[in-house]
Amino acid sequence: MIENKIFWCIANLIATTIEELVLVRMFDIYSKRKRQNFIIYLLLFIPIMTVQIFDFYGVDSNTKLLIVLIIDFIYCIYCYDNKIFKTILISGLYWMISMGIDLLAFSFVNVFNLNSNATDIMNSTLYRLELIIFSKLMLIASVVVLRKLNLKKELTRKQYLSVLIPISANIIFIVVIWSLVYKYIPNNMQINYIGLILAVLLIFSNISILKITNNIVKENQLKFENEKLREKIDIQYNYYLNLKKEQEKITKFRHDIKNHLLCIKNSTTTEESNEYIEKINLEINQKVVDFNTGNAILDVIFYEKSIICIDKKIKYKFDVDYSRCEFIDVIDTCSIFSNLLDNAIEACDKIDQGDKVIELKGNVANEFFVIKCENTKVNDVLYLGENITTDKEDKELHGIGLKSIRESFEKYGGDINIEVLDDKFIFKGFIPIK
């Protein structure tokens, strides 16, 4: 059966289809589609049928490779929402891996079958079948590894070039090995073993490039997160500075209005006006939330969060003595307490039935400043490694608050611990007193 031409047409069609589907899968992992599934898979027939036509007419392999590369690149630009450099990077990674696997499979089958002449593979239907099965199974398996590579973020042009140069060099190296060793150099077993060793080294080189690419992406992501983190902290700090100024104005106004009301009360004798003035005084006093933590900015933070808790009907208790924490930078103070309370308020706000409670304590014990924040909750807490993630759409920026808290603690030699119960979230942290 394997001598039948129809069989080989079908085998080549399946092999090419697998190659193109793996390419699509790679772009699906790292990119966002901008066409419907029907369009994407319909257009996939263009490169698949191009390869079949070239094989039928015996077009030179290098010419076929070049044309298919161009067709695949245009296809990916049209179907996926990527910039050109990212499309080149993903396509380059795919062809580097695919061609590397083909070369390794060719060398392995040649050595395994003890062929003294590599061209025998192309003339033997059995060896060709072994080559197709082995190479395509390895290509499919590579998708599992590629899923761990994070290429969803855009890189800078310099970073793209730093990765594309070794990828291009590897692809050229594969073509040279294929042309010289298996086409122009007379084959013997020694040459075949050399070809296998080079193919294995090339695979390790590909793996190294993948690791380098992943490290560059992680570095870029870390830089992005740090920039957003610093931006958020600066915004919080400036916000609380402005809020402190406004609170001072409100305090002065409240003091003045009380004096005015007192004067009005003493200058009138009507029962109705006295009752009205008492109601105003009661209203003013009810809105007053005084904190004395030993830190002016922290007092403002607690004032603002207490107003939010009152508005959302959340029971709260903030009991913090910050008098010995003058060594902690005011920006870190903002980061720790504003993010802690923001997360707690957000969790309580999701409770439709049941108690909404936040309790925050902070004091010095055994030369450590210890913070404990508890809040009730109903939502599940999701973990991604040691970090807490979310079910919100904006996953990239969510979690920066907790990361900011962790970094602030580590900055002063401290540490944090998180305990998650069915109905409660408990945060504990300590910083050594300097």
Give the domain CATH number at 311.
Answer: 3.30.565.10
Per cent of the chain over pLDDT 90 is 21
CB 118 within 8 Å of CB 140: no
Give residue 76's domain range: 5-228
On whether both 49 and 163 belong to a single domain, the answer is yes
Coil, helix or strand for 151?
coil
Which of 57-66, 72-81, 281-290, 401-410 shows the lowest mean pLDDT across its residues?
281-290
- What pLDDT, on a 0 to 100 scale, did the predictor assign at position 277? 61
Both 67 and 211 in one domain: the answer is: yes
| CA quadruple 291, 296, 300, 302: dihedral sign | negative
Classify residue 426: in a domain, yes or no.
yes
Shared domain for 361 and 217, answered yes or no, is no
Say whether pLDDT at 429 is over 50.
yes
238 in a structural domain: no
Q: Tell me what the pLDDT averaged over the chain comes to.
A: 77
* 297 within 8 A of 244, measured Cβ to Cβ: yes
Query: In total, how many domains does the chain have?
Result: 2
Q: How far apart are CA 246 and CA 98, in angstroms?
A: 64
Average pLDDT over residues 104-113: 76
- Tokens standing for residue 168: 């291009």
pTM of the model as a whole: 0.53
In this structure, are 55 and 194 located in the same domain? yes
Q: Residue 196 in contact with residue 108, Cβ under 8 Å?
A: yes
C-alpha span between 314 and 306 (Å, rounded) = 9
- Indicate if 182 and 330 belong to the same structural domain: no
Q: Domain end: 207, 228, 249, which one?
A: 228
Cα–chain-centroid distance for residue 196?
38
Candidate from 125-134, 285-294, 402-411, 417-426 with smallest mean pLDDT: 285-294
Q: In this structure, are 163 and 49 located in the same domain?
A: yes
**175 shares a domain with 50:** yes
More confident residue, 131 or 196: 131
With bands split at pLDDT 50, 70 and 90, how would you rate the model's confidence at 318?
very high
Assigned domain for 237 exists:
no
- Residue 432 pLDDT class (50, 70, 90 cuts): very high
> Per residue in 96-131, is it b (16+ CB within 10 Å) or e — as a string?
bbbbbbbbbbbbbbbbeeebeebeebeebeebbebb
Contact 208, 163 (CB under 8 A): no
401: left (phi over 0), alpha (psi -120 to 50) or beta: alpha
pLDDT at 217: 67
State whether 318 and 218 are in the same domain: no
pLDDT for position 192: 65
Q: How far apart are CA 142 and CA 47, in angstroms?
A: 21
Query: Residue 261 falls within a domain, yes or no?
Result: no
**Residue 152 sits in the same domain as residue 27:** yes
Measured between alpha carbons, how far is 164 from 299 in angstroms, rounded to an integer? 53
* In contact, 264 and 281? CB cutoff 8 Å: no
Confidence of residue 290 (pLDDT cuts 50, 70, 90): low
Residue whose token pair is 């409100």: 250
Residues in the chain: 434
* pLDDT reported for residue 4: 67
Identity of the amino acid at 375 = N
Q: How far apart are the first and last CA of the chain?
A: 82
Mark whether 306 and 165 lie in a shared domain.
no
Element (H, E) at 295: none
pLDDT band at 384 (very low <50, low <70, confident <90, very high): very low
Q: Which of 228, 253, 276 is the last residue of a domain?
A: 228
Residue 267 lies in a domain: no
Give the Cα separation of 109 and 133 in Å (integer). 11
Residues 372 and 360 sit within 8 Å (Cβ to Cβ) = yes
Convert the pLDDT of each residue in 217-251 to its tens digit: 667 666 666 666 666 666 666 666 666 665 565 56
> In terms of pLDDT, which residue wins out, 362 or 108?
362
Q: Report CA torsion sign: 12, 15, 18, 23.
A: negative
pLDDT at 14 over 60: yes
End-of-domain residue from the set 202, 228, 254: 228
Identify whether residues 47 and 120 lie together within a single domain.
yes
> What is the distance between the alpha carbons of residues 228 and 431, in angstroms, rounded to a whole number?
25
**Those residues with Cβ within 8 angstroms of residue 342's Cβ, 6 or more apart along the chain or in another chain:** 305, 401
Question: Which of 413, 417, 418 is CA-nearest to residue 432?
Answer: 413
Separation of alpha carbons 92 and 164, rounded Å: 7
* 65 lies in some domain: yes
| Domain-located, residue 282 | no
Q: Residue 241 domain-assigned?
A: no
pLDDT > 60? residue 195: yes
Phi-psi region of 362 (alpha: psi -120 to 50; beta: other; left: phi over 0): beta
